[in-house]
Amino acid sequence: MTRDTQSRGASEPGPAARLSENALKVRPYFPTLIFSLEVPDSEMLNADLIEAIYAERERDRRGVPKSNFPELGSWHSHVNLHKDVTFSELVQCVDEASDMMCRELGYHRSYRLSIGTMWSIINPPGGVNRAHIHPGCIWSGVYYVQAPTNSGRIEFIDPRTQNLMSPVKYIPDTRRPRICWTKVRYKPVAGRMLIFPSWLYHSVAPNRSRARGKDADRIIVSFNLSQKKRE
Ligand SMILES: [Fe+2]
């Protein structure tokens, strides 16, 4: 007779057999947060932004080469669009979203998340953005101004590189639990804003839109947020 069965009947199940399915607890610590926001009735806003962004490209055809590939036709504006009155409506939307984040995350009320830089990118068919991060700020964001079908999803990569060292075998042909994802892709949707940690590597797949002319362009406005003392 074993020690375990001495104190109970031989036919009685042991503790292991009596563990219920919900006995195992898990908590997601150190999560990577991606906020999303749908700007309501964004059609007018987007129409104005499209006009302003093409006008800016006319003014500055060279643009600024960053994660985009100018040789593929991709254009990146200067980074001070938030100071241009034409973008003030979008700036207000970003400010509102930032304030909601500050409340959600318990940030000090004397500080706000303030736009430090804001720029636009036009990716025509074939345009891509290589994997990159946004140094020098806390959060970064993207607002989709025009996003035709198949114009390139943004992909975020698991920042815990050590987590990628020992690949796990998952049940085939089954959607794995979100807490086990090592990458996540978002389809661009006009009027949608994403805000993510500035240290989170991300890239944009090629624009494969089949729309005609400028309707095929994938147009975004991106921005960086830092904590600034409220005045
Ligand atoms: Fe980026």
Q: 140 in a domain, yes or no? A: yes
Residue 38 has pLDDT above 80, yes or no: yes
Q: 94 in a domain, yes or no? A: yes
Q: 48 in a domain, yes or no? A: yes
Please give the distance, rounded to the nearest whole angstrom, from the Cα atom of residue 156 to the centre of ligand 1: 10
Instruction: Find the domain containing 64 and state its range.
Output: 35-164+179-229
* Residue 194 · residue 91 · CB < 8 Å: no
Please give the distance, rounded to the nearest whole angstrom, from the Cα atom of residue 166 to the centre of ligand 1: 28
Query: What pLDDT score does 78 carry?
Result: 95
Please give the distance, rounded to the nearest whole angstrom, from the Cα atom of residue 132 to the centre of ligand 1: 6
158-191 per-position pLDDT tens digit: 999 888 888 899 999 999 999 999 999 999 999 9
Please give the distance, rounded to the nearest whole angstrom, from the Cα atom of residue 200 to the centre of ligand 1: 9
Stretch 59-77: mean pLDDT:
84
Q: 197 in a domain, yes or no? A: yes
Please give the distance, rounded to the nearest whole angstrom, from the Cα atom of residue 195 to the centre of ligand 1: 10
Instruction: Indicate the pTM of the whole model.
Output: 0.91
Please give the distance, rounded to the nearest whole angstrom, from the Cα atom of residue 76 to the centre of ligand 1: 11
Number of domains composing the chain: 1
Q: 44 in a domain, yes or no? A: yes
Stretch 71-91: mean pLDDT:
94
Query: What pLDDT score does 103 carry?
Result: 97
Token couple for 167? 């690949």
Number of other residues whose CB lies within 10 A of the CB of residue 167:
8
Q: 67 in a domain, yes or no? A: yes
**Percentage of residues in the chain having pLDDT higher than 70:** 96
**CATH number of the domain residue 88 falls in:** 2.60.120.620
Stretch 102-121: mean pLDDT:
97
Handedness of CA 60, 66, 69, 71 (dihedral sign): positive
Burial class (CB in 10 A: 0-12, 13-18, 19+), 127: buried
Token couple for 106? 């318990």
Query: What pLDDT score does 68 carry?
Result: 72
Please give the distance, rounded to the nearest whole angstrom, from the Cα atom of residue 89 to the centre of ligand 1: 21
Please give the distance, rounded to the nearest whole angstrom, from the Cα atom of residue 169 to the centre of ligand 1: 31
